[in-house]
Structure 1
Amino acid sequence: MTDLTSARSFLFVPGDRPERFGKAAASGAHAIIIDLEDAVAPEAKMKARHHAKKFLDQVAVEKVLVRINGIESAFFEADLALSNHPSLSGVILPKADAESCSKVVQKLENPVWPLIETVRGLVDLREIVSLSDLGRLLLGTIDLSLDLGLEMDHPGGQTALDAARFMLVTNSRLGDLPPPIDGVFTNLDDTTGLQNATEHACASGMGGMMCIHPRQTSVVHAAFAPSEAEVEWAQAVVLASEGQKGSFQFRGKMVDKPVLDRAQGTLVALQDHRP
């Protein structure tokens, strides 16, 4: 099982396209998600599960998650048999709520990654993060928008989704989980839009983003990495703090423990983003 607490890019690959598994793993994405749910037609579910198991049997240290079918799906029980595979870093549970997460956590040895994409999931967040053996929270922006009747391309819809982001960020902190992962950006030809979306997610406290194409990962990495100015400031603040016994002035501003913690966190993030 691989640690993904600092991973930033999570690349989906359809479970019925095994020729893409290796390419996805070699794409530079921090983790890949083999999708057995939305990306796979019902008649191809069994083959997708077979392809996923064959790939997992062969890999050693790849960072691989699997998105199983939901607890009410006819394919759920068969997916569970795959979900304890030792090569998996985690199992993504779609349309997660407190009841479904509790049931799945009890059945699995691998961490459960709750995909929050319904109103019920949002309401249940505090109960969800109290469970043991969780990975990270993920925000399913498309399905959540459908459930809430939001227009994702309108500023009003994004404002509502920002409220959902805030709920995932705060509850991740409450449950002592790493920062949550934002939803996919679906326009593959809009690099500027992707960059804006990833920068917005980062500024909102999210810790990474799900991707649907390998070329999106480099944009996500750049957006979530500390900037040169942030790194220079953090290094200078930490250096200036040496020998200080309390708060002190630095470049005309007061530096106290929260500010110093922020600087040290930036330097930790820098290490996480280095190859």
Structure 2
Amino acid sequence: MDPKISYFKTFLITAKTKSFSKAAKELGITQGTVSNHISALEKYFDAQLFIRTPEGVELTPEGQILYESARKILELITSTKQRIKSLHQYPEGTVQMAASTTPGEHILPGIIKDYRREYRDVDFQVEITNSKRCFELLERGSVDVVAVGYLYNRDYDYLIIGKDRLVLIVPPNHRLGREGRATLSHIMKEDYIDREEGSGTREVLIRGLNERGYSMMDLNVVMRLGSSSSIITAVSEGSGVSIISEIPARKAVEAGLVKIVPVEDLDLTRYLYLVKGRKLSNPSAVRSLWEFLEG
């Protein structure tokens, strides 16, 4: 059996005190334990390490060689522990992330900005994609953390970083915008602009429709686009209506691009999540980010 680190410490203290009993007292262990540690080292190195003298014990030539090496081993271990501890306190390097559109474009930048006020040596590489691909990247270990609007897999550690509501947007001059209200039956009569498969927004909508006895087949989908911004552009140009996150929708309303219309029989509220992977390329930085967000 390979020797434990504690055996080397016992060996060094015994060599310093030149006594098994004194070494035991200094280490707070029994003399028998000291003997066992030394015997294990002698068996491992196949050498006698001490000789007995009237005054106690002395190192053999083999023991002297081990003494010099053991000091370096323990010094290296201590130095390594200090460096790791320092890295935990002052993380550095890059955190690889992926994020779906809404948290990636509207929530994550603020989180990163606040975090980097305290941890200036950590930077972030963020890929914007859909929620499903975020989880695929997480599973492969390609990213450390993902920010998503839908949990495709709840087996990971995650934090809630926001709350969002999905809303119906229509062109500024649209009939539903003038009326100021809509129902699902109204939406099903309109050309509908859908998000791509794998989108968290789309999954939340599917779930909401299913709970009310409908499906995506009941919508007149005329195109599928890969981001909220592209959908806003299409809606503003009169290509159809859509349901997207309220966060970018509000900004589009302020810019005069679209109108938000309340849907009386459809309330779609969701949480936004930060999800931590299992194969971390920068565990110290990810741990500090988690602790920062947990407060």
State TM-score, norm by structure 2: 0.23
State TM-score, norm by structure 1: 0.24
Greater share of strand residues, 1 or 2?
2
**Bigger relative contact order, structure 1 or 2 (CA pairs below 8 A, ≥6 apart):** 2
State the structure with more CA Rg: 2
